[in-house]
Amino acid sequence: MILGVILLLMGVVFALQGADVITNSPLMSGNSTYIYVGAVVAIIGLALLAWSSRMGRAATPSAPAVQPQPTAV
C-alpha cells in the first residue's frame, strides 16, 4: 500500500511539472512527455492501492461464529 501511495504522489508531481504547474525543475517543467509519464505512474499507483486494499480485506479472517455452550442439567 505504501508503494502505491508513493507512486501515486510521484505521478501527480510528474504530471504537474510537465504541465508547468510546478516549476522547480528546468528539465521537467513544461515538457509534455512528463504529463504522460506522470499519468501512467499515477495509474499504476492507484492500481496498487486498489489491489492492496482488496488483498487486505481478503486476508482478514472473519470472526468465528459463537457456538452455544451445552448447559449442565
**pLDDT tens per residue, range 52-71:** 888 876 555 665 666 777 77
Using one digit for the tens of pLDDT, what is the confidence trace for 10-37? 999 999 998 888 887 777 888 889 999 9
**Domain, as residue range, for 36:** 2-57
4 and 46 Cβ atoms separated by less than 8 Å: yes
- Counting the structural domains of the chain, the total is 1
Q: Is the residue at 73 inside a domain?
A: no
- CA pair distance 32, 35, nearest whole angstrom: 5
Q: Give the model's confidence band at 8: pLDDT under 50 very low, under 70 low, under 90 confident, else very high.
A: very high
**CB atoms near residue 16 (< 10 Å):** 17
Query: Looking at residue 63, what is its pLDDT?
Result: 59
Is residue 67, in this structure, part of any structural domain at all? no
* Whole-prediction pTM: 0.69
Assigned domain for 37 exists? yes
Q: Is residue 11 part of a domain?
A: yes
